[in-house]
Structure formats: structure tokens, C-alpha cells
Amino acid sequence: MAFELPKLNYAFDALEPNIDAKTMEIHYGKHHNGYTNNLNNIISGTDNEGKSIEDILNSLDLENKGLRNNGGGYYNHNLFWKIMGPNGGGDPSGEISESINSNFGSFENFKDEFEFAISEPWSQKELLSEEFKALGFYISNHPLSEFKDILNLCKQIRIKNKNVPIVLMGYMNSFLSLKNKLAKELNQAGVDGVIVVDLPYDESKSFFNNLKKENIDLIRLISPTTDSKRLKRMLASSSGYLYYVSLKGITGAELKNFNEVKNKVKKIKSLTNLPVVVGFGIKDAPTAKKMASFSDGIVVGTKIIDFIEKKSTPKISNFTKSLKKAINSYG
């Protein structure tokens, strides 16, 4: 029996203002319908004809891109219509609620950290990471070759400068692309530490121990909503330094409440001997100087990326020198 486009149990405009009617109509009438027709054509006359979509995907040959993409698209859209609805939402319950409260302290903290994690537009690497987490395979590209290019660049930097620390920051899936060779590859490339934005706490201990064997630091991100209980658990598998995210929202946003950041950093430092650096909202020398009064370092990314995008790389040197001068002038 051929697969059919399932009936939508609510109107296209039922999810407004969160999702507009036109978007729903396109995803249902074009995307999902297209996946359905393509899937039927691909399995026609094969051993997969007559099987359920679950059975097809469970025995999927990942090299069969047509079946992989259209079968996955059909299944995901079926799920998409079921898990959303005009009367959805509300606090979770049962095991999900218990897990969220255990790991984040509360559902509100979870939402804050989730919002922080998705506040930036996805880069190609981030898109690949989310593809793999959702589907178990890649669709648009593969991260391995690009990640190895980054490691080769690290090797070149290490040859020219044996003392400057090298820290790689990215998403879990990029690091896992090297599987059990990760720590050794990082060590051979001269990498000193990693910051993994979406590293689940439950997986962090083994990840931390594997890195530790090769003298690679696992540097933790601490957010404004991280409570004391969660912070203490994270410190048990942290090394190198801690990266405190000074505000909720996107990188490049303006930092205003210095006292709040100062108090949070002070609290973190009371629980650990690790250095605490501050990032987000630091875009000039005066801000850097203020941060130096209570932290062990600063992280600046957006401003430097702006220079690169505008092909103003000579300005980067002057900018970083001004930050260094401001920090050193403190006190």
C-alpha cells in the first residue's frame, strides 16, 4: 500500500502568530506532499514496498540518498504535524519534567538555556550537527573533512608559535566526527582545550576523561541561569578555565548590567580555583577594562568577525592591542 499524505487536523492558520498560514501550507502541500510522492516512486517494485516507514528507516542503506532523504522527510513531517497544535504548550510532566529539573533546576532555566543555544543563526557546521542529532545521518554535507582542515591549521599555528594556547569552540557533532581518535588528533594538532556548546552533562564525564588522557582541557560554558547545584556538577568535569556568558541573547549584544555579571563571577570563583573568563557584550577597550576588574580574562568574537567580514583584517591587530592595553592598565 502506497504512503499517503496524512490529514491535517487543524487549519493552516491555527498556529499563528508563531507559524503563519503560508508557511504551514507550503510545508504541508508542497514539502510533505513531495516527500510522499517521491518516496512512493522510489520504493515501487522494491523490497521496501508494503513496509511501514519505521521498518524502512530502521533497515536503511545510508548510501541510498533518495530513499534516505525522502523517507526521512516523510517521517519527520508526520511527526511534525502531531507534536504541534493550536492547544499545545505548557509545562512538561513525568520523566521529562524530572530530568529537566534535575539538569537545569527548573523549566524556566531550561527555556533560557535553550533560547541561548539557538539565538545565533546556524552556520554550516551547526546545521550539520542538528541534522545528525535529528536524523542520525547528514544530508547537506559532512563535517569531517572541514574539521581536519581546522586541525591542520592548528598544526601550522603550533609550528610558528609553541606557546600560544589554542582552544577550539564548536558543536558536539564536529568533535565526535573523529570518534575515538578525537583526543589524540587534538593533541597531535597542538590543541590545548575545547569548548563544546551543546555537550550534554550526562555524556560529559567520559568525554572529559578521554580528553584528560591527552592533556586536553574541557572548558565549560556557564550561563546566567546556571544554578549552584548544576554549577557544582559541571565543575567536577571542567579544566583549563571557565567561560561565563555575561548575558542571555545573541553574541554582539550590548552589555549593561556589570554589577550582575560581577556578582555571578564572584560566586563562580568562590566554588573553584579555575580562572573565569567573560564573553558576550565585550566590544571595546572600556568594557574590557571593566571586566578585568573582577574576571581572569575576556572573550571577544563578534567584533573581530565584523572586521573579517568587512575585509578590515589590519584593524584586528590594533583592536586587540587596545584591549590588551586596557586590561593591563587595570589597577
**CA angle 28-10-114, nearest 5°?**
75
Q: Following DSSP, what letter does each residue of 198-251 receive, concatenated?
A: T--HHHHHHHHHHHHHTT-EEPEEE-TT--HHHHHHHHTT--S-EEEE-SSS-T
Domain 144-328, CATH number (from 3.40.50.620, 3.40.50.720, 3.40.190.10, 3.20.20.70): 3.20.20.70
Confidence of residue 250 (pLDDT cuts 50, 70, 90): very low
Cis ω before 314 (30° cut-off from 0): no
Secondary structure class of 278 (helix, strand, coil): strand
CATH class of 12-89: mainly alpha
Q: What is the mean pLDDT of residues 246-258?
A: 60
3-state SS of the chain: helix, strand, coil percent to 5?
Answer: 55, 5, 40
Q: Confidence band (pLDDT; 50, 70, 90) for 119?
A: low
Is residue 126 classed as helix, strand or coil in its secondary structure?
helix
pLDDT digits (tens, 9 = 90+) for 127-184: 666 656 655 555 455 555 577 888 988 999 999 898 989 999 887 777 776 667 889 9
Give the length of the chain.
331
Identity of the amino acid at 311: K
The whole-angstrom separation of Cα 124 and Cα 171 is: 11
Q: Where are the domains of the chain?
A: 12-89, 144-328
Q: Model pTM?
A: 0.58
pLDDT at 4: 93
In the three-class reduction of DSSP (H, G, I as helix; E, B as strand; rest coil), residue 197 is classed as coil
